[in-house]
Amino acid sequence: MSFKKPNILMIICHDLGQMLHCYGNRYIKSPNIDSIAEKGVVFLNHFCASTPCSPSRGCIITGRYAHSNGLMGLVNRGWDLPKDQRTIPQYLNEAGYETYLFGFQHERKDAATLGYKHINLESWWCEKVAANVVKFLTSKKAKEKPFFVNAGFFEVHLPFNRKEYKPASINEVEVPAYLPDNKDVREELARFYGTIEFMDKAVGKILRALKKSNLEDNTIVIFTTDHGMAFPRAKSTMYDSGIKTSFIIKWPGVIPKGKFYNELISNIDLLPTLVEIVGGNKSSKIQGRSFLGLLIGSKYNERTEIFSEKNFHDVYDPIRAIRTDRYKYIRSFEKRTYGAMSLDIKASQASRTLPEKFYKQRPFEELYDIKKDPNELKNLARDVKYFKIKKELAKKLENWMRETSDPILKGKVIPPKEANWLCSPECFKEMSKK
């Protein structure tokens, strides 16, 4: 099937996970993002291929796993996406698109090398990024050629302390089962909800400008995020709370309205999907799978599992995971605790009064039955009834690591010389203290 080249507008925020009203949270106010869901489709099982920010965004922009594209740590800590890695804007440039970056990116130290023809880094705050996107959408340039816009918001990253954010009531938050229900957690969640509501208003400004400019009918709108919310046992972990992410897309007249998909999708799958939509040339190095067929009701290469990884965040914490529609197997390669939180979470109010289990060493193998235990609280790795399942998943994970030439198979991953990160056992021990 061929399409008139649609405009593509992608809005990507920080640290959201699936914390939206349209994903089932009754207290969160996100009417503008919900409107994209009402006019499009919501992916309930969309996962990031690497849980820290830069690596996850590197997976999105290259369609490749973090250990394959080389971006295994944070750009602000010395990492950089290698120059030989092709990106979404480069593929779309070749397909005749004008490509724009507004606001936040975290894949390269020099945004000019990412391939965008037009870059506006004036601000990362969502309301200012939205204002610049609106200015473009209401200009003549927006109608001259098909465009790809990547609008990056710094929100909803910690700390949630801008005066513009209005916290929700602490009595109107849902405390996840993996966190203690106490005053510290509730107050941090209330501020988080207020930040989401503020960010949602910026999305609304963009959507209204798109409609006012008569561009809505020929524009694919995508809303997504990089990884889970910045709370203990979420962001920077391999649990669903860390790797399950929002992915909502609308394409007027082409894909269904108000539909929810349960199929497994990885964020490395976006690039090949966009390349197929625009009729571009797909590189053999792309590791993601196009899900265009799922969107338009035709055949596609459905996933039976997704893979995710972590290498470096604020500490060296190499983990690999495989998740099917029923089970999750996690393999850790260093001695780390459940409380191995990123520094922003470590400094947050939510981490002040955590139970003792957060500071215990996590096992090298974890296995969870997602259907029976969606919060992944009961590790079945040593349960004899699940040995066969664990063995099968461990083998699949190992095969994936070998097929993708995972450097962890040869020992510790070596960071770039410029990297500024905390990796010594002594430093990690200090960070993991109560």
Stretch (H or E) spanning 329 = strand 327-332
Query: pLDDT digits over 262-281, tens only?
Result: 999 999 999 999 999 999 98
Lowest mean pLDDT among 40-54, 240-254, 407-421: 407-421
Query: pLDDT digits over 334-382, tens only?
Result: 998 877 788 999 999 999 999 988 889 999 999 999 999 999 999 999 9
pLDDT reported for residue 419: 66
Residue 193, classed as helix, strand or coil, is helix
The rounded distance, in Å, linking the Cα atoms of 228 and 178 is 14
The pTM for the full model equals 0.94
Work out the average pLDDT over 242-257: 97
Query: Has residue 132 got a pLDDT over 80?
Result: yes
Query: Does residue 337 contact residue 382 with C-beta atoms inside 8 Å?
Result: no
Burial class of residue 298, CB neighbours in 10 A (0-12, 13-18, 19+) = exposed
Work out the average pLDDT over 238-254: 97
Query: Has residue 431 got a pLDDT over 90?
Result: no
pLDDT reported for residue 432: 34
pLDDT reported for residue 3: 63
The rounded distance, in Å, linking the Cα atoms of 7 and 97 is 8
Written as one letter, the residue type at 250 is K
The rounded distance, in Å, linking the Cα atoms of 178 and 296 is 37
- Range 1-39 burial, b when 16+ CB lie within 10 A, else e: eeeebbbbbbbbbbbbbbbbbbbebeebbbebbbbbbeb
Domains of the chain as residue ranges with CATH: 7-296 (3.40.720.10), 306-431 (3.30.1120.10)
Question: Cβ of 281: how many Cβ atoms within 10 Å?
Answer: 8
- What separation in angstroms does the CA of 354 have from each of 67, 95, 183, 185, 186? 32, 51, 11, 9, 13
pLDDT reported for residue 56: 98
The rounded distance, in Å, linking the Cα atoms of 91 and 271 is 9
pLDDT reported for residue 349: 97
- Residue whose pair of structure tokens reads 């972590």 in the numeric block: 310
Percent of the chain with pLDDT over 70: 95
Query: Does residue 41 contact residue 263 with C-beta atoms inside 8 Å?
Result: no
